[in-house]
Structure 1
Amino acid sequence: MSAKHPIIAVTGSSGAGTSTVQKSFEWIFRRELINAAFVAGDAFHRYDREGMRRAISKSERAGEPPLSHFGPAGNLFNELEATFKRYGESGTGRRRWYLHDETEASQWKQPQGTFTPWEDIPADTDCMLYEGLHGGIVTDTIDLARYVDLLIGVVPIINLEWVQKVLRDTSIRGYSIDAVQDTILRRMPDYVHYIVPQFSRTHINFQRVPLVDTSNPFIARGVPTLDESMVVIRFRDPKNTDFPYLLTMLSGSWMSRPNTLVVPGGKMDLAIQVIMTPLVLRLVERRRALL
């Protein structure tokens, strides 16, 4: 952790909704005039799209453990940790971008499914926001969580997570339903060992729970709306949280445990704003006071 160069990480599985939560942080930064550096987790995958296909095929022919974007074999964990460490020490580091679709790729005049060149994180930023799969990853050799000042988990219940992934990957990214199912099955060991443990290290978790039937996520025709959901918000350390204020601000919310707030799904963005704004401001004000 670093008082001069704070790091905020939003972490969650593929299809969990981390990019939506990132947009809420972008609103906070814009409103509070905070100059943030952005780092995308998928830019630290080891292979581009075609390279990943070849690597998976090779590992399957060799009878090796399944290869996925969730585990060490599919990622540059050392480089990601180096970015966190360097930013915490000096407010800089290295990043790149993964080009998911034709819209993103056209801006760089590169094929989709490829990486942009590495670049330096801009100097003199107030904080760094990471969004991706591994913001709190800890293995035998690396520990990203120790560098993070505010670690946020985005964890919809797993059937909803799969609904969101299936519909995104088939309708937006052009994959077949069979291909998406194969991906889910192949990455399950890495999901259990590398993704799930992060949510015990987070400071706050946002877990969306649908109020409609998602028992077969592979035949869903649409993602349950926010108004068809509740959001369970768990605080690791509730002592400094003003729950009476949050209950007043978030109409229809209640406490299910001493560290857990439940809010209507339609209030999720508002909940992120009212919970995160003072935490972000505290980090930035501490940095500015030191400078």
Structure 2
Amino acid sequence: MSRENPIIAVTGSSGAGTTTVKDAFARMFSRQSLQAAFVHGDSFHRYTREELAKLMRENPGREDSLSHFAVEANLLDRLESLFQEYSKSGTGTYRHYIHAEDVSLIDAGYKVGNFTPWQPLPEDTDLLLYEGLHGGLVTADYNIAQYVDLLIGVAPSINLEWIQKIDRDVKLRGHSHEAVIDSILARMDDYVHFILPQFSKTHINFQRVPLVDTSNPFEPRSIPTDDESSVVIRFQDAHKVDFPYLLSMIKDSFMTRPHTLVIPGAKMSLALELIMTPRVQELLDGRRYR
């Protein structure tokens, strides 16, 4: 792990809600006047949307291996190199993958499903924040998790994750309801082998659990609101956590196991602030003087 150039990774499946956690970190950094390098995992996809669609048409028996969850569909050597380089020198190269909601990049002439050119990270940053699919990946060929100082997992209950993905991809990215379901099914093998194992390596997991009926996530429905949810938070190093303080500060929270805190869904932002602020400060305090 890096001490001088800390790396935080927020990892989770497509539709899990990692962007919400990333945005909470961004607000926290802004309040503390911290300069962060933000890196999105989609930037390390190997193929543009058109290239991936062409490969799937040409290889109809290989849809699973071509999902964005799969190792071979991503430039994980470049992601690992970025983490290694940043941890040593605070530098590295990155790019952006263009989604339909990236209005400013589209207005600048970029096409949805394509990439911006590779470019250097901003200079003199205090830390790097990665948000994406593979921040805690460990395989026979890659060990990305070894460079991460704070690994955060975002893993809603599976039905809720699918509901959120369908809602986002239909409303924001222009996909049909049926196409999103096909994508979920095609990725299942990669989900089991490459996404789920990361949650056993995370320092903290946030799992949102709906308190309303989501038995059939593929039926068109609205996403359960924060008030219709609870969040289960599991800490790997529970001995470092001041649970009495968190219980006193987060109304209606309670513990189910010595390392597990449950909070109302509407208290998620507050919990992130209370939990992450001292963690980030600990990383910054541990840096060597330059």
Offset of 1:108 from its aligned partner?
3.0
Residue 149 (structure 2) aligns with:
149
What does the per-residue CA deviation read over 1:129-157, in whole Å, with 9 as the maximum and x for residues that have no partner? 00001100111111000000000000000
Offset of 1:290 from its aligned partner?
2.3
Offset of 1:64 from its aligned partner?
7.2
The one-letter code matched in structure 2 to 1:89 is K
Confirm whether residue 234 of structure 1 aligns to residue 214 of structure 2: no
Note if contact 1:104-1:112 (Cα within 8 Å) is conserved in structure 2: no
Confirm whether residue 73 of structure 1 aligns to residue 49 of structure 2: no
Offset of 1:63 from its aligned partner?
5.4
Counterpart Cα distance in 1 of 2:105 and 2:210: 34
Offset of 1:114 from its aligned partner?
0.8
Structure 1 residue ranges, 4+ long, deviating more than 2 angstroms after superposition: 62-66, 104-108
Offset of 1:286 from its aligned partner?
2.1
Residue 189 (structure 2) aligns with:
189
Q: What are the residue-to-residue correspondences of 1:82-161 with 2, within 5 Å?
A: 82-101=81-100, 103-161=103-161
- The alignment covers a number of residue pairs equal to 289
Change (3 A) 1:173 1:63: closer
Counterpart Cα distance in 1 of 2:88 and 2:165: 36
Counterpart Cα distance in 2 of 1:56 and 1:247: 50
Change (3 A) 1:16 1:283: same
TM-score by length of structure 2 reads 0.97
Instruction: Choose 121-130 or 65-74, whichever is displaced more.
Output: 65-74
Instruction: Choose 196-205 or 27-36, whichever is displaced more.
Output: 27-36
Confirm whether residue 42 of structure 1 aligns to residue 20 of structure 2: no
The one-letter code matched in structure 2 to 1:71 is A
Counterpart Cα distance in 2 of 1:63 and 1:16: 25
Note if contact 2:56-2:62 (Cα within 8 Å) is conserved in structure 1: no
Counterpart Cα distance in 2 of 1:143 and 1:63: 25
Counterpart Cα distance in 1 of 2:170 and 2:282: 41
Stretches of structure 2 that go unaligned for 5 or more consecutive residues are none
Note if contact 2:35-2:127 (Cα within 8 Å) is conserved in structure 1: yes
What does the per-residue CA deviation read over 1:43-102, in whole Å, with 9 as the maximum and x for residues that have no partner? 000111111111222221x55754200011211111110000000011011100011016
Stretches of structure 1 that go unaligned for 5 or more consecutive residues are none
Change (3 A) 1:252 1:90: same
Note if contact 2:65-2:72 (Cα within 8 Å) is conserved in structure 1: no
Counterpart Cα distance in 2 of 1:27 and 1:65: 37
CA RMSD of the aligned region, Å?
A: 1.2
